[in-house]
Structure 1
Amino acid sequence: MASGNPSTKVVTALQTPIITTSTVTRMSTTRVATPVVTIAVSTVPTSSTPIMSVSTSGSTANVQHKANVGEMLRLGTPRLWLPAEQCRECFYPNDVNFNFCQQCGTRRLSRDRERPQPLPVDMEAIDSRLAELQEKAASMPYTQRKSKLQTDFEVFLESMQPPKTLMSAAPRDILRFLVWKDKGGRTVVHGADCSDENPCQCPSRLAFKTVDSYIGQLRSIFDKEGRGGEWNARVGFGNPAADKSVKQYLRMVTEEQMKQNLIPKQAIPMTTDKVERIINYIDLQLEKFPDIDPCHAFILGRDKALFLTLLFTGSRAGDLLIVKTENIHLPNGGFLLNHVWGKTLRDGNTRSCAIFQNDNSLLCPVTAIMGYVELAKALGINLSRVFSFVRLLETERLTMCLCLLMRQILDCVFIVTKLQCTRGRLYIVFEVHVLLP
C-alpha cells in the first residue's frame, strides 16, 4: 500500500490503471503525419471500469469509426470488405466511401458532379458495322484458306482412334496430318532406286513451301483457340505447332527436296522481244476498231496499258489492278502511281512509282495509258472514280453467253454499243438485230 500524497503514481495488484491518451499530430516537411502519444496513469479502485480517452486532430466521426471497428474485432464480428482508395495527401488506403483519411485526417475532396446526359447510341448500326467488318475479314483469301485447313484438320482429328479435338491435339498429331496431306502434293520426290521410266512410281509430296505455309496457318489456328506460346511437353500445354519436332519435320522435308534440285516453280520472265510481239498483235486488232466488238476493244486497250506499266514499274499485277484513277497523278511528261494498298503494303504507308515517256513509241507506257483513256471515253466508260484498270472478266463471259443465246435461240445478232462504269459497276448497252427470213 502507498501512503502520503494522493497524487503519487502508485500501481498495486488491487488497483486498475486508467489510461488517458492524447495524440498530437505534427506535420513534417514532407507533409506526412507523425503521431505523438502521451500516456498518463492514475489509480482507481478495482471495481472501476477501464476507460480510454482519445484526442486526435481528426474528426469525431473518424474516431467513432475506429472505435466501432475495434468493438467489432473484440466481439469477433467479421468486417465487410470494401475497395480501397488512396488519400491524396499521405496515400493511405482508405475505404472507398471515406470522408476523412484514417491516417492523417485529411478531408476527402467532394466528387459530387452533375450526371452527364445519356448519349444517343444506335446499337443496331454498331452491330451492323461489326458484322460487315467480320464478313470482309472472312472473305479474304488467306482467311478462307486457313478456314478450310482448320476444317480438314478437325475432321482428321475426329477420324483418329481415339478421337481428338483442337484442345487435345499434340505435335505428333500435326506431323501425322502433314504426312496425310502429302497425298494432294504435286512435287515428285524420286527415290534412290528410281529408274528413268516415264512416268515413274515415285510418290508425290507437298512442296516444302506449302508445308511451311500449313505450319504457319496451324500455329495461327491454335493461337486463336487459346493455345499460344511455346509447347511444353511435360505438362502438355502450349501451341503444338510451335514444337521442335514440327520444325525438324519442315527442315527434313526441305533438305530432301533441295538435294534433288526440286526448287519452287517460278514465273517465266518476259523479255522485251516477247512484249513487242504482244503489243504488235494488240495494235493490229485495235486498228479494226470500231468494226470489232467494243468489249473486246476495251479489253485490248486495257491489257496493252497494263502490260507496259508492269514492264516499267516492276509492280505486282494484283497491286496494279487495285490502283484507282484518283491515285494517278499527271506530272510533266509522265505519270505518278501512288500505291496505298497491296500484298506487302498494309501498314498505312504509301509507295509511289514514276512512269516517264520512252523513246520507243511501241513500248511507251505513257502513250499506252493515254490511248487506253481515250478508248474508254470513246466507249462511254468513265474511269474517274473507279479502278484505273477495270476488270471485265465477268463481262467477257456475259457477252459471250448473250451472243451465243441470241444467235442460236432467238436467231438475232447481238452488238454491244456502249459500256458505262458507275460506282465500280459496269453497265452494258447493246442492240439486238433480228434476222428476217
Structure 2
Amino acid sequence: MDIDNRILQLEKRRAFSPYMKKKTSVRDSLILFLDSLPRKPGLSECCPNDVCRFLVWKDKAGKNKVHGVQCKFLGTKGKPSCNCPVRLASGSVSVMVQHLVDIFCDIGAGRVWDVSTLSGNPAASPMVRDYLKMVQEEQARAHVMPKQAAPIFLSKVRAISMYIERELARRDLSLRERFVFLRDQAWFKLQFFGGDRAGDLAGLVAQDIRSLNDGTGLVLNHTYGKTLRGAKGKANMFVIKKCEESLLCPVKGLRDYVEGVGKLGVALSPGFLFRVVTDGGRVLDQAVSYSVIYERLRTYLTTLGIYHGETPHSFRSGCAVTMALSGAVNNMGQMMRHIGWFGEDSAQYYSRLPVLRESEYVASKLAKCTSQSEDIEDNFRKSADFESLEKAF
C-alpha cells in the first residue's frame, strides 16, 4: 500500500540520519560491553553502575590528556609525553549520556530513574548525573578546554584560490579534476563568507539560491540542517555579496563553478549544488560529504605548506572572527542571523567577540588607570564608602 510505503520511506530516511547513526553506534558499543561482563546483563537488566562502568570503558577512545596539578604540561594542548591519562572530553561524555537515555527509552524504560524501586532509565539516574559532573569538574581542574577549530582567514582562502586558478589553467586536466577544482573553489569561498556549517552547505540545492534584484549578490536559504530539521519558524537565510577582489569573491566563484561544469555537460539545477564525482568522472546527484571536503582542504593546505590542523569548521570560525574584528556587525544578533545561530553561546564561542571587545576597550582602559589610582581611591572614599555612611546614621 502507498501508506505503508510512505511510512517505510520515512523510517529509512530517519535510520540513516547522522543522529541515528551515532545512537546506533553507542548502542552497539553498550551491548558489546555488557556482553563482556561476568553476568552478561541485557539492556533491560542494565543498572546505573553498569552505565557508569561503560562510560569509563569508553575512555579508551578518548583524545584529551587530563593532567594533574603537578604536571608541567598542565594547560597545554595536544598529547605531550607524560604519564597523565587520556580521557573522553566531558562534552563527548555528556552527548553519550543523552544517547544512552534515548536508547533505554526506546526499549520502554521511560526517561527517569526511580530511586525507591531501582527501576526506570538507568542513564537518567543520579549516579550517572554525578559521574558526568565529576568528569566535568576533573577536566576543568586539569584546564581541559573544549576544542575549538583553528580559524581560517582570508589569507589562506586567497592562497588556496590562487593555487586552484593555476591548476585550472592547465590543459592536461581530466574532466574529473576540472570538476573538483571548480567545485572546491566555490565551496571554500562560499563557506567563508556565509559562515555555514559544512553539513548544511553540502545539503544546499540549486533551487535554494536566488539573485538579488540589483545583481550585486545572492540569497541562500536553508530550511534543514543540524539545528533546523524542519522546526517551525526556523530557517537560515543569508546574503553573500560581490567582493572587490575577484579572486576571493564567493558570487563569482559560484557562477564560475556553475558555468564551468556546464561546459563539461553537467547541469546542477535542479538538485544538490555540490556533488560527488566518481573516479571515472561521472557526476552523481548526491551531496558531497564532509569527509571529502575535509580531505580536499587538508590536501590544499598541506601542498601549500600552511596546514595547521584546520577543518571545514574553521571557515565558520574564521568568518565569525572576521566579522567581529572588521566591524561588519554592530551586535551579536546580526552575526547570529547571518551565520544561522539560534543562541548567543555559539556566537560568542566562535567569534570570541566579548573577549576581543573587552581586550580592546575594558582592558586597555584599565591598563591606563595607574596614573589615576590616587584619584580613584579618593573618589571611592568620598562617594561610595558605605561603612562610613552607615556610621553617620
Matched residue type, 2:223 = V
Q: CA deviation at 1:344?
A: 0.8
- Secondary structure at the counterpart of residue 127 of structure 1: helix
Distance 1:244 1:300, change over 3 A: same
Aligned to 1:376: 261
**2:168 is aligned with 1:300:** no
**2:36 is aligned with 1:159:** yes
Q: CA deviation at 1:133?
A: 2.3
How many Å separate the matches in 1 of 2:110 and 2:92? Answer: 22
Q: CA deviation at 1:193?
A: 5.5
Matched residue type, 1:305 = A
How do 1:390-405 residues align onto structure 2 when only pairs under 5 Å count? 390-392=275-277, 395=278, 398-399=279-280
Q: CA deviation at 1:151?
A: 2.3
How many Å separate the matches in 1 of 2:125 and 2:80? Answer: 39
- Secondary structure at the counterpart of residue 353 of structure 1: strand
How many Å separate the matches in 2 of 1:222 and 1:168? Answer: 11
- Secondary structure at the counterpart of residue 239 of structure 2: strand
Aligned to 2:201: 320
Aligned to 1:338: 221
- Secondary structure at the counterpart of residue 91 of structure 2: helix
Which of 177, 190, 199 aligns to 2:54? It is 177
User: Residue 275 of structure 2 contacts residue 287 of structure 2 at CA under 8 Å; is this kept in 1?
Assistant: no
User: Residue 380 of structure 1 contacts residue 420 of structure 1 at CA under 8 Å; is this kept in 2?
Assistant: no
Specify which structure has the bigger relative contact order, considering alpha-carbon pairs within 8 angstroms and separated by 6 or more residues.
Answer: 2
Deviations 1:31-77 (A, max 9, x none): xxxxxxxxxxxxxxxxxxxxxxxxxxxxxxxxxxxxxxxxxxxxxxx
Q: CA deviation at 1:207?
A: 1.1
How many Å separate the matches in 2 of 1:192 and 1:350? Answer: 46
Aligned to 1:387: 272
Q: CA deviation at 1:323?
A: 0.9
CA-atom RMSD, angstroms?
2.3
Runs of 5+ unmatched residues, structure 2 = 74-78, 289-393
Q: Which runs of 4+ in 1 moved over 4 A?
A: 192-198, 423-426
Q: State which drifts further: 375-384 or 127-136.
A: 127-136
Give TM-score, length-normalised by structure 1. 0.60
Matched residue type, 1:333 = T
Deviations 1:225-275 (A, max 9, x none): 111142122111222111122111111111111222211222110111111
Q: CA deviation at 1:198?
A: 5.6
Q: CA deviation at 1:216?
A: 0.5
User: Residue 68 of structure 2 contacts residue 142 of structure 2 at CA under 8 Å; is this kept in 1?
Assistant: no
- Secondary structure at the counterpart of residue 391 of structure 1: strand
How do 1:6-405 residues align onto structure 2 when only pairs under 5 Å count? 122=1, 125-192=2-69, 194=71, 199-288=81-170, 290-331=171-212, 332-346=215-229, 347=231, 349-392=234-277, 395=278, 398-399=279-280
Q: CA deviation at 1:174?
A: 1.0
User: Residue 63 of structure 2 contacts residue 87 of structure 2 at CA under 8 Å; is this kept in 1?
Assistant: yes
Q: CA deviation at 1:126?
A: 3.1
Aligned to 2:378: none
Q: Which has the higher strand share?
A: 1
How many Å separate the matches in 1 of 2:72 and 2:252? Answer: 55
How many Å separate the matches in 1 of 2:61 and 2:223? Answer: 37
Aligned to 1:18: none
User: Residue 276 of structure 2 contacts residue 283 of structure 2 at CA under 8 Å; is this kept in 1?
Assistant: no
Aligned residues: 279
How many Å separate the matches in 1 of 2:267 and 2:186? Answer: 17
Deviations 1:129-160 (A, max 9, x none): 32232222222222122122222222323333
How many Å separate the matches in 2 of 1:198 and 1:324? Answer: 44
The structure that has the greater radius of gyration is 1
- Secondary structure at the counterpart of residue 361 of structure 1: coil
How many Å separate the matches in 2 of 1:216 and 1:310? Answer: 30
Runs of 5+ unmatched residues, structure 1 = 1-121, 400-415, 427-437
How many Å separate the matches in 2 of 1:246 and 1:425? Answer: 39
Deviations 1:186-214 (A, max 9, x none): 22222355577962222221111111111
User: Residue 66 of structure 2 contacts residue 84 of structure 2 at CA under 8 Å; is this kept in 1?
Assistant: yes
How many Å separate the matches in 2 of 1:335 and 1:127? Answer: 41
How many Å separate the matches in 1 of 2:166 and 2:204? Answer: 28
- Secondary structure at the counterpart of residue 240 of structure 2: strand
Percent identical:
37
Matched residue type, 1:325 = A
Matched residue type, 1:343 = K
- Secondary structure at the counterpart of residue 315 of structure 1: coil
Give TM-score, length-normalised by structure 2. 0.66
How many Å separate the matches in 2 of 1:364 and 1:167? Answer: 57
- Secondary structure at the counterpart of residue 162 of structure 1: coil
- Secondary structure at the counterpart of residue 362 of structure 1: coil
How many Å separate the matches in 2 of 1:166 and 1:425? Answer: 36
Q: CA deviation at 1:425?
A: 9.9
How many Å separate the matches in 2 of 1:141 and 1:425? Answer: 14
Q: Which has the higher helix share?
A: 2
Distance 1:219 1:381, change over 3 A: same
User: Residue 101 of structure 2 contacts residue 121 of structure 2 at CA under 8 Å; is this kept in 1?
Assistant: yes
- Secondary structure at the counterpart of residue 128 of structure 2: helix
User: Residue 382 of structure 1 contacts residue 420 of structure 1 at CA under 8 Å; is this kept in 2?
Assistant: no
